[in-house]
């Protein structure tokens, strides 16, 4: 028990997750096409990645394209995929130089072949990065991820390779796309919406949540600092009592 408590009290911000929302509204406020908002959103990604490296955050998860975003107009889906490819081309060398490892979560088989290849290439070239892991959630939905994990587990059980009596939360988590990463400590959502929208449903069970009205293209070092300041003042109890933590 005391080991758990030490872990809680000493929990720094190791994993930050962000729901980047508000690109469309940012563009609308300026009477610009939605693509202009996404372009500024991509700039914000680069800024925040650098800021997280500076702040020695080990894992940064970004919700870049949800499984539900496939339902957007085809022109917007294509534009978002184009921006992703541009980001990979323009940032790959920088990521290698800064020691950033790129990893992807989500149903990548739904992505086009060219995007899948570019992602695999970027993952391979950045594999040695050990400063920070940038986790891009693409074609990602929390329920979809849990369902894929459950199916894989069921297949293993039917094949006699898995004893369902041995299953527990830790074992289940090894079937998720995020099996290599710790759970997020802090989840930020921009743009004033106050919901999780199917992002990291399993993993955010005990994450601290922070919502800001700032639209994603306007989110920068100052806004990130504000969120982290709030996080640092939170007491994470993980179901334990205040007295246990103070002991
Ligand atoms: C939500 O804003 C944002 C998205 C659906 C896509 C996020 C994409 C980027 C930040 C740019 C490209 C990403 C990378 C990794 C290079 P919204 O369109 O739902 O905004 P709205 O709610 O105001 O319409």
pTM of the full structure = 0.94
> What is the Cα–Cα distance from 207 to 205, expressed in whole angstroms?
6
Q: Which of 23, 48, 214 to probe ligand 1 with, by most ligand atoms within 8 A of CB?
A: 23
The answer as to whether 70 is a domain residue is yes
Q: Which two tokens stand for residue 44?
A: 């914000």
Which is it for strands 59-66 and 132-140: parallel, antiparallel or unpaired?
parallel
Over the stretch 81-113, which tens digit does the pLDDT of each residue have?
A: 999 999 999 999 999 999 999 999 999 999 999
Closest C-alpha to ligand 1, atom 11 = 42
* 91 CA to centre of ligand 1 in angstroms: 18
d(CA 35, CA 243): 51
Q: For residue 64, how far is its CA from the centre of ligand 1 (angstroms)?
A: 6
Which domain range does residue 58 map to? 15-142+182-234
Residue with CA at minimum distance from ligand 1 atom 22: 22
Is the pLDDT at 159 greater than 90, yes or no? yes
- Nearest C-alpha neighbor of 65 from the set 149, 117, 136: 136
Pocket of ligand 1 (CB under 6 A): 20-25, 38, 41-42, 45, 64, 69, 80, 83-84, 87, 136, 191, 216
Task: At 42, list the tokens.
Answer: 């991509």
Please indicate, yes or no, if residue 1 is contained in any of the structural domains: no
Quick one: pLDDT at residue 243?
84
- Which of 20, 78, 192 maximizes ligand 1 atoms within 8 Å of its Cβ, making it the mutation to test the pocket? 20
More confident residue, 216 or 245: 216
Ligand 1 atom at minimum distance from 25 CA: 23
Q: How far is the CA of 109 from the centre of ligand 1 (A)?
A: 21
Residue nearest to atom 5 of ligand 1 (CA): 65
Total structural domains in the chain? 1
Q: Whose CA is nearest to atom 3 of ligand 1?
A: 21
Residues 181-191 have a mean pLDDT of 98
pLDDT digits (tens, 9 = 90+) for 224-244: 999 999 999 998 888 888 888
**207 domain-assigned:** yes
pLDDT at position 82 is 98
Give me the CATH number covering residue 85.
3.40.1180.10
**Per-residue pLDDT for 124 more than 60?**
yes
Q: Is residue 76 part of a domain?
A: yes
């Amino acid at each position: 028990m005391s080991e758990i408590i030490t872990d809680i009290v000493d929990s720094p911000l190791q994993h930050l997750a962000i729901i980047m929302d508000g690109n469309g509204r940012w563009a609308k406020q300026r009477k610009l096409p939605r693509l202009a908002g996404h372009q500024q959103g991509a700039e914000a990604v680069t800024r925040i990645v650098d800021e997280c490296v500076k702040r020695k955050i080990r894992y940064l998860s970004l919700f870049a394209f949800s499984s539900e975003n496939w339902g957007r107009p085809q022109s917007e889906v294509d534009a978002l995929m184009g921006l992703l490819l541009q980001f990979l081309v323009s940032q790959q060398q920088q990521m290698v130089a800064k020691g950033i490892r790129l990893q992807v979560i989500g149903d990548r088989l739904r992505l086009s072949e060219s995007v899948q290849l570019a992602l695999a290439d970027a993952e391979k070239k950045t594999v040695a990065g050990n400063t920070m892991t940038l986790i891009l959630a693409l074609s990602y939905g929390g329920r979809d991820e849990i369902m894929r994990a459950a199916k894989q587990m069921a297949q293993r059980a039917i094949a006699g390779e898995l004893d369902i009596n041995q299953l527990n939360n830790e074992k289940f988590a090894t079937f998720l796309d995020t099996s290599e990463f710790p759970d997020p400590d802090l989840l930020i959502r921009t743009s004033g919406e106050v919901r999780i929208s199917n992002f990291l449903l399993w993993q955010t069970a005990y994450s601290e949540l922070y919502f800001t009205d700032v639209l994603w293209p306007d989110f920068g070092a100052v806004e990130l600092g504000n969120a982290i300041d709030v996080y640092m003042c939170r007491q994470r109890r993980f179901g334990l009592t205040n007295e246990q933590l103070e002991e």
